[in-house]
Amino acid sequence: MTFSKSQFAILIFTALYTIVFAVFYIGQLNMEFIGYVGVIVFIFTLLYATLDKTRIPTYILAGLSLWGLMHMMGGSVQTADGVLYAWRIYPFYDGGGEFFILKFDQVVHGYLYAVVGLLFLHLLRQYFGNQHSQLLVGFIAVMAALGVSGVNEMIEFIAVLTVPDNGVGGYFNLMLDMVFNFAGALLAVIGFYLFKFVRRG
């Protein structure tokens, strides 16, 4: 399979930072993020192995690559609040403990599932075309993104059970993750259709 220059550049960029962070996390014996390195490798292997059929747009590939970098940085870069994932960006709401908005972790969750929502929307529109209600197609894309979100939270639950001193968090963290995942996917899908409407007009 041959890739375009932009696809190949994204692949090389992703491979380079994945190797760098893999070495770092192995050196730190951070089993949680070593596992996440494996997840990134799996995701990009799957995406690039099926590009001839899925024809995923470059902006979605770039978006996922940027997420991977943010995710790897989140567990390694130090801030005043601990690692980058714990960084409390601004106190829009502080309910005590984990119930805090806005953290870097929440931004990454919202961003990732915006990209995942657009990925599913692309795949669904490619399959259905304009033969079905776009409201229904958009709804399914958001629900599919939430499905991936649920699988991600189950993976984090496995990390809680198997990795001592993990940074996954508790119930409030889980539910805030789900809220930001949903908001990211919903806003991205709505934004996609608004952009199409404005361009058509």
- In angstroms, the CA 156 to CA 141 distance is 23
Report the alpha-carbon angle 187-5-111, nearest 5. Answer: 20
Give the pLDDT of residue 170: 76
Residue 61: exposed, middle, or buried by beta-carbon count in 10 A (0-12, 13-18, 19+)? buried
CA proximity to 160, closest of 35, 11, 5, 27: 35
Type and span of the H or E element at 97: none
Express each pLDDT in 69-111 by its tens digit.
999 999 999 999 999 999 999 999 999 888 999 999 999 999 9
Express each pLDDT in 48-68 by its tens digit.
999 999 999 999 999 999 999
Q: Is 92 helix (H, G, I), strand (E, B) or coil?
A: strand
> Model pTM?
0.91
